[in-house]
Amino acid sequence: MTKPPKAFISYSHADREIAKRITDTLRKEGINVWFDRYEILVNDSLIQKIFQEGLAEADAFIVILSKDSINSKWVQHELDTAMIKRIEGATRVIPVLIDKVDIPEPLKPIKYIDLSQDFDDTIRELQKAIFKVHERPPVGEPPDFVKNLEPVSGLSGLGTKLGRFLITTGKHEIGNEETLRPAELAEQFSFSPEEMNDAIDELESLGLIETTNFLGTHPYSHGDVTPTYALFLHFKENGVEYDPEEDIKAVASTIVADKNVGGHGIAQRTELSPLRINRAVAYLKDYGIAQVFEELGTAPFDFSIVDATGMTRRFVSENCN
């Protein structure tokens, strides 16, 4: 069990009652306060008890500042010793003001506590100072407009802005990714043609988008831009409203369970939209995890049937349990 912190309380005898009240309250709250009335017995050496026992072992030095204490030689001697220990880093000096008096010169740089206000608040401030506790509200998430300005890992600011927009596109119920023209995208962000071309080239080089080229696109280097499933995986913690990795696991588990299944069967089991199913199946196909058959007339799905293979079963065994 951690030892309670030790505190020494310095005061003028004229302020004995308030010093005792502070002492008794702090002791009840887990602070071992050295108070002369409790510690010094008849025939004890005052100097030995105060300076060699009380002050020498104190983690905190509480000095009560009043009209009487600022003129007390004992308080001054105790304060001199405490200030030396403070310079050495051994003691925290905590001034507690109970009268309207001028703060002694050595204490002016130190924040004091005003006991002329609420006593309970003062005790709480003393506790925080002695236990070295800072009461701060927790640091929350930065606002969305700030997060949206932060580059995503591996991408430039231009690539991040384009990617953040593209992950908001897609027609979920009909299973289609949206195809956009660079001119439309440039207008969305106030990009120059050069900036737009750079952003598209960056995302395409990472496989996050696909482009279609045709004549008449000048000053843009591409004709159409379409997101791939890889874009949503790349941004899964940076704006995508679902976890694409969980979609892939859910679809793979369904394929293993049914061995041979179409898009409607996957949708029934997973309750995912056709577009999210298409993205997951495209991933499984590209990585050779499942055998995917494609033919015309399968809308809103991009495939007709998916068969489970040894790779599918191994993927589910390693990732979905």
Domain boundaries, the chain: 6-131, 144-232, 244-319
Above 70 in pLDDT, residue 61? yes
Options 3.40.190.10, 1.10.10.10, 3.20.20.80, 3.30.70.600; which CATH number does 244-319 get?
Answer: 1.10.10.10
Average pLDDT of the residues in 53-76: 89
The C-alpha R_g of the chain, in whole angstroms, comes to 36
Average pLDDT of the residues in 150-173: 90
Distance CA 264, CA 274 (A): 8
Residue 151 half-sphere exposure, CB side, CA atoms within 13 Å?
Answer: 8
Average pLDDT across the chain, whole number: 89
Average pLDDT of the residues in 260-277: 95
Above 70 in pLDDT, residue 142? no
Please state which of the ranges 48-62, 200-214, 302-316 shows the lowest mean pLDDT. 48-62
Architecture of domain 144-232: Orthogonal Bundle (1.10)
Above 70 in pLDDT, residue 147? no
Please state which of the ranges 5-9, 187-191, 288-292 shows the lowest mean pLDDT. 187-191
The pLDDT value recorded for residue 149 is: 57
Please state which of the ranges 24-28, 199-203, 215-219, 243-247 shows the lowest mean pLDDT. 215-219
- Percentage with pLDDT > 70 across the chain: 96
The pLDDT value recorded for residue 1 is: 47
Above 80 in pLDDT, residue 93? yes
Above 60 in pLDDT, residue 145? no
- Percentage with pLDDT > 90 across the chain: 58
Burial of 109 (0-12, 13-18, 19+ CB in 10 A): exposed
Spelled out in words, what is the top-level CATH class assigned to the domain 6-131? Answer: alpha beta
- Please, which pLDDT band fits residue 24 given cuts at 50, 70 and 90? very high
Above 70 in pLDDT, residue 174? yes
Above 60 in pLDDT, residue 188? yes
Domains 6-131 and 244-319 share a fold: no
Q: Which of 191, 220, 184 is nearest to 204 (CA)?
A: 220
Burial of 110 (0-12, 13-18, 19+ CB in 10 A): middle
- What tokens appear for 103 in the block? 């703060």
